[in-house]
Amino acid sequence: MAKFHSTADPYIVSRVRALESLLMEKGLLEPGMVDAVVARFENDTGPMLGARLVARAWLDPEFKRQLVTDATPCLEAFGLNGYDLLVILENTPDVHNLVVCTLCSCYPWQVLGLPPTWYKSPPYRSRAVLEPRALLAEMGLIVPEAKEIRVWDSSAELRYMVLPERPAGTAGWSEEQLAALITRDPLIGVALVPTPAGAGPA
Ligand code: FE
């Protein structure tokens, strides 16, 4: 049983277990295969890869220009080939970007790993479009009225990742230090990358 199923709805857990058993009986699935796939997205790629892309973009203006223009060469530089089209949305002092899939749960697995449960929930999917400012406030992110919120609807062919603003207090930081500060939520657009504790101005 894959570990990410352990916190799911008991009905879904039972269905998944039944499906796994059936597929193994038919010889279509090796024991441990689901766990291996989950581990790959959680550990080997996952938010870590998105964080590394952002950290490099913060440090390298030419990489950032390429990333927001056509991300494919940047993804290839990180060993990612042949994935769905990924568009990088740059946050600015005037614009905050928010990613949703209103139809289902399309999500850039290759750079963010497994989607969080709330991303797939009907309230998130509808409110991100109807009242993004109120939704973000409830999720702990107050976006000033003067700042525009742009909502991007993902599809099976086109996925999005947010390039958040670099926080103050990180001047002189290395790519590794910056990447360690970046978690999944800012890359979906539901949080900001935090200013490090005790940091001075950037
Ligand atoms: Fe979808």
Task: Tell me if residue 74 is catalytic.
Answer: no
> Which of 33-37, 162-166, 170-174 bottoms out in mean pLDDT, i.e. has the lowest?
33-37
Q: Which string of DSSP letters, residue by residue, matches 8-52?
A: S-HHHHHHHHHHHHHHHHTTSS-TTHHHHHHHIIIIISHHHHHHH
Q: How is residue 82 annotated by DSSP?
A: S
- Residue 3 — pLDDT band, cuts 50, 70, 90? very low
Each residue of 128-154: b (16+ CB within 10 Å) or e? beeebbebbeeeebebeeeeeeebbeb
pLDDT tens figures, 55-110:
999 999 999 999 999 999 999 998 887 666 899 999 999 999 999 999 999 999 88
Domain ranges of the chain: 2-188
Residues with CB under 5 A from ligand 1 (ion): 101, 103-106
Residue 75 has phi, psi (to 5 degrees) of -65, -40
Among candidate residues 21, 104, 121, 174, the one labeled active-site is 104
Q: What proportion of the chain, given as a percentage, has pLDDT over 90?
A: 66
Task: Tell me if residue 106 is catalytic.
Answer: yes
CATH fold for domain 2-188: Nitrile Hydratase; Chain A (3.90.330)
- Residue 44 — pLDDT band, cuts 50, 70, 90? low
